[in-house]
Amino acid sequence: MFPSPFGSVQQLYIGLFETGILATALGESMQRIVIGFTLALLIGGLLGILIGVSKIADETVGSLVVALQSVPSIVWLPLALVMFQGGEAAIYFVVILGGTWAMTMNMRMGIKNVQPVLLRAARTMGYNQTELIWKVMLPASIPSVLTGARLAWAFGWRALMAAELIGRGGLGRTLMDARDFFNMELVVAIMIIISTIGLIVEYFIFSRIERKVLSRWGLTPTAA
């Protein structure tokens, strides 16, 4: 019941390089999170633009999004299992919901916080509503979009692990199998993989993109 660090590292090596159990599970989970995360960005981004530029949509759909944002994504799992008969689509459904609302609210905030002087200047130059959105509002809201993408990834990754606990394949299902066989060292090994993926995505992808974006938008101090 109390796994040793050496045993956990040993299980990590065996699962990744000898039996391939963890390597296969990791591949399945990464495929799911990439697809779910991409769809969450698209759906959340479009929904955020809609409620950001439309007062009616903000007062109706926007209020609904705020309410849904407070619902943990794992709560949707029983409904997803009934709707999709416990198939692969149920996992994607939970992952997408896990990231969509965070992306929506941050996109909305980015659109709402565009400086009025930029909008007035664009209108003076003859921009129509579509050009205002794509050439002014979206570029100006990139920092908020990045924050939304980061939160969407974090929430989607957690939702995926929870959904896989009672799904098929992936790191979450493998973790449950290890628990059923009382292999606590393998459980810890899977936890190491989950946290390592989170660190890699945060520090090697989002942090680098954030530095470039903040520098490009003049939001970070430069050395004299």
pLDDT digit string (tens) for the chain, length 224 residues: 677 888 888 998 998 898 889 999 999 999 999 999 999 999 999 999 999 888 888 888 888 898 888 888 888 888 888 888 777 888 999 999 999 999 999 999 989 888 888 888 888 888 887 888 888 888 888 888 998 999 999 999 999 998 888 777 889 899 998 888 888 999 999 999 999 998 999 888 988 888 888 777 666 655 44
In a domain, 7, yes or no: no
In a domain, 63, yes or no: yes
**In this structure, what are the phi and psi dihedrals at residue 168, rounded to the nearest 5 degrees?**
-125, 130
End-to-end CA distance of the chain: give it in Å, rounded.
56
In a domain, 135, yes or no: yes
In a domain, 188, yes or no: yes
Q: What is the pLDDT of residue 223?
A: 43
In a domain, 201, yes or no: yes
d(CA 10, CA 7): 5
In a domain, 10, yes or no: no
Q: What is the pLDDT of residue 36?
A: 94
Q: What is the largest distance, in Å, between two alpha-carbon atoms of the chain?
A: 70
Q: What is the pLDDT of residue 6?
A: 85
Query: What pTM, to 2 d.p., does this model score?
Result: 0.87
Structural domain count, the chain: 1
In a domain, 140, yes or no: yes
Q: Residue 128, SS3?
A: coil
H-type helices in the chain, by residue range?
Answer: 5-13, 21-53, 55-69, 77-83, 88-112, 116-124, 129-132, 138-140, 142-164, 170-180, 184-201, 207-216
Half-sphere exposure of 104 (CA within 13 A, CB side): 24
Where residue 147 sits, what CATH number does that domain have? Answer: 1.10.3720.10
Range of the domain at 54: 19-216
Q: Report helix angle 88-112 to 21-53, nearest 10.
A: 40
In a domain, 3, yes or no: no
